[in-house]
Amino acid sequence: MAETTDITASASGTFTLGGDLPVHRLGYGTMQLTGKGVWGWPEDREGAVRVLRRAVELCVNLIDTADVYGPYVTDAFIREALHPYADDLVIATKVGFTRQGPGQWTPVGRPEYIRQQTELNLRNLDVERIDLLQLHRIDPKVPVEETVGELKALQDEGKVRHIGLSEVSVEEIERARAVADIVSVQNLYNLTNRKSEDVLDYAAENGIAFIPWFPLATGELSGPGSVLSSIAAEHGSTPSQLALAWLLRRSPVILPIPGTKSVEHLEENVAGAAITLTDEEFERLSALS
C-alpha cells in the first residue's frame, strides 16, 4: 500500500449532488473539532485549522458542518482555515437543532427558526449561498412539509442551492420530496449498524446521495483474530480503513464523512479510499453485521 500522503480523496471516486455539484465521495465531517459534548471550543484551536487545510490539500472537497456544532465553532474554523473558498469546495451545513448545553440536542423545525439559522449560517460561513443545506432532524411538533417548505422558499430566494435531510425514514423522505427536491440523506450507517439499509436502497434507486454519519465504527468486530482484523492485515491497513473501503464499495451513492481532530488520522482515513476489496472480502465483511 502507498504512503498515506501519496493518496488523495480523488481515489474515492466522484458523485454529483443534485446533478450539478460534483464532489469526491470521501468527505470530511467537522463535529470532532469542537469541545467535549460538541460544545464550545477545543483545546487545540490551531490543530483544528491545520486539519481542515490538510483535508483540502488531500483533495477533500465536501466539508460537512452544522450550526449547532459548538454552536458555530466549526463554522468559525472553516472560515478561518479555508476562506476565500476554492471554486470546487462544497460546504454542507445543517439546521433544525437547538443546543442547551454539552451533549444536549433538541429539534426545532418552526419555519422562523429555520430561516434565522440559515441566515446565520450564511453570515458565519461568509457565503452568499449554501451549497447543501440539510434538515438536521425532523421536529415531531412540526409537519415535515412545513419545515421543508421553508427550506424550499430559501432555495427559491437563491440562498440555498440544494436541500438534504438527516435521520429520516423512507416515508419521511417521500413526504419531503413532495415539497422540494431532496438531493441527500444523512443517516447513521456503518459496518456494525445497518438499520438504514432501506433508506440507502431508496437513495440509490433515486440518485440521492447517502451520507453516513459515524461511518467508521468497528467495535468488537475489530478484535484480535476477527474477520475484519484479518482482512485489514492482508491489506496492510487498519480496521477503520477497511470499514471505509466497505462503505465506498457498498453503493456508489455513499459519501462517507469521517471526522477527526488529528492530521495523522485524516491522512489515514483518506488512504482508506484507495483500498480495493475483492468480491469475497466484501461479502465476508457484509456478513459481519
Say if 5 falls within a structural domain. Answer: no
* Inside any domain, residue 282: no
The CA-to-CA distance between both ends of the chain, in Å, stands at 27
The mean-pLDDT minimum among 66-80, 151-165, 194-208, 220-234 falls in 220-234
Domain with 77 in it: 13-210
CATH number for the domain that contains residue 200: 3.20.20.100
Residue 96 resides in a domain? yes
113 catalytic residue (yes or no)? no
- Residue 276 inside a domain? The answer is no
Tell which wins on pLDDT, 114 or 228. Answer: 114
CA distances from 185 to 212, 221, 236, 263 (A): 8, 26, 32, 27
Determine the pLDDT at residue 223.
77
Q: Is residue 79 part of a domain?
A: yes
Choosing from 69, 72, 113, 202, which is the catalytic residue? Answer: 69
Alpha-carbon distance of 20 to 218, in angstroms, equals: 34
The residue-averaged pLDDT of 182-211 equals 97
- Alpha-carbon distance of 256 to 16, in angstroms, equals 14
- Cβ within 8 Å of residue 182, ≥6 positions away: 163, 164, 165, 173, 176, 208
pLDDT of the residue at 4: 52
Beta bridge mates, 72: none
Domain for residue 168, yes or no?
yes
Q: For 259-269, how does the pLDDT look when each residue is reduced to its tens digit (9 = 90+)?
A: 999 999 999 99
The domain total for the chain is 1
Is there a domain that residue 248 lies in? no
Residues 153-173 pLDDT 10s? 999 999 999 999 999 999 999
Indicate the helix (H) or strand (E) that contains 162: strand 160-166
- The reply to whether 39 falls in a domain is yes
What's the rounded Cα separation, in Å, for the pair 255 and 89? 15
Reply yes or no on whether the pLDDT at 60 is more than 90: yes
pLDDT tens per residue, range 65-118? 999 999 999 999 999 999 999 999 999 999 999 999 999 999 999 999 999 999
